[in-house]
Amino acid sequence: MVWLRRAWLSILTHVGALLPLARLIWNFFHDQLTANPIQYITFQTGKSALVLLVLALACTPLNTIFELKRVVGLRKTLGLYAFLYATLHFLTFVGLDYQFDPELLKEAIFKKRYALVGFAAFLSLLPLAITSTKGWMRRLGKNWKRLHRLIYLAALLAVIHFVWLVKSDIREPLGYGAVVLLLLALRLKAIRKALVDLRERVAARRRSYNRVTFREDLQ
């Protein structure tokens, strides 16, 4: 069972990330895609993409604060699943909703500014998905990291996309926006350094506390 102890987090990530897709397929076969199935699929895939994007962005700060190195390894998986749902979302809009009709699409994308912004978010994820392999990482070297900062842009665009498409009540999209901004702020050098210092101080205190109690136990 050593493999399970090593892989459970990764397995959990895959299962969790595939759950929304499984639910869509289940609902499709049980006629539960609501009265407006295309809109339902659009909303569900879009929401899943955004949640996964936020989770991918959370990995690095989680490691900074709690020193969870294993979580960093999930970034790629989460990011690729976010891209999978973004692709399904985009294809639903273009293919199912607008039947690839160029006339309608031109009108829809350029009149619906939220669609334009969503498209931009999708386009900024595209190179990240393509260069997610080890080979590309090696080939790009230092630039790989630079390129992959595009995910910050993608997340911000995705939030704006969400804010602009709701009818009036923007509290939910703004909630996502706040989380994204927080996750980006935690990456700022000064904040990151303060967090690492804090983490180390807490760890040091715990070590000395353990030492003291251990000695008392001995007596």
Partner 1 sequence: MFPPGLWAADAYDELRKELTPLKAITGYNNFYEFSTKKEDVAPLSQAFRTSPWSVKVGGHVSKPGTFDIDDIRKRFPQEERVYRLRCVEGWSMVIPWMGFPLAALLKVVEPTPKAKYVRFETLQDWKQMPGQKSSWYSWPYVEGLRLDEAMNDLAILATGLYGNPLPPQNGAPIRLVVPWKYGFKSIKSIVKIDLVGSMPNSLWMQAAPNEYGFYANVNPAVDHPRWSQATERRIGELLRRKTLPFNGYAEQVKQLYAGMDLRRDF
Retrieve residue 178's tokens.
């706040």
Binding mask 109-138 for partner 1 (x = CB under 8 A): --xxxx------------------------
- Cβ pair 46, 168 in contact under 8 A: no
Nearest residue (CB) to partner 1, 29 versus 214: 29
Window of 11-19, 92-100, 132-140, 192-200 that interacts with partner 1 by CB under 8 A: 92-100
Q: How far apart, in whole angstroms, are the C-alpha atoms of residue 76 and residue 56? A: 8
Retrieve residue 40's tokens.
């339902």
Retrieve residue 117's tokens.
């912004």
Window of 1-9, 18-26, 48-56, 101-109 that interacts with partner 1 by CB under 8 A: 101-109
**Coil, strand or helix: which one is 166?**
coil
Is residue 102 within the footprint of partner 1 (CB under 8 A)?
Answer: no
Q: How far apart, in whole angstroms, are the C-alpha atoms of residue 208 and residue 217? A: 14
Retrieve residue 38's tokens.
């295309």
Window of 7-15, 17-25, 32-40, 140-148 that interacts with partner 1 by CB under 8 A: 32-40
- Candidates 9, 16, 94, 97; binder of partner 1 (CB under 8 A) is 97
- Candidates 1, 102, 142, 168; binder of partner 1 (CB under 8 A) is 168
In sign, the C-alpha dihedral spanning 71, 73, 78, 83 is positive
- Give the nearest distance from C-beta 95 to partner 1 in angstroms: 11
Q: How far apart, in whole angstroms, are the C-alpha atoms of residue 99 and residue 166? A: 23
Nearest residue (CB) to partner 1, 168 versus 219: 168
- Cβ pair 121, 76 in contact under 8 A: no
Q: Which residues bind partner 1 (CB under 8 A)?
A: 34-36, 38-39, 96-99, 104, 107-108, 111-114, 164-165, 167-169, 171
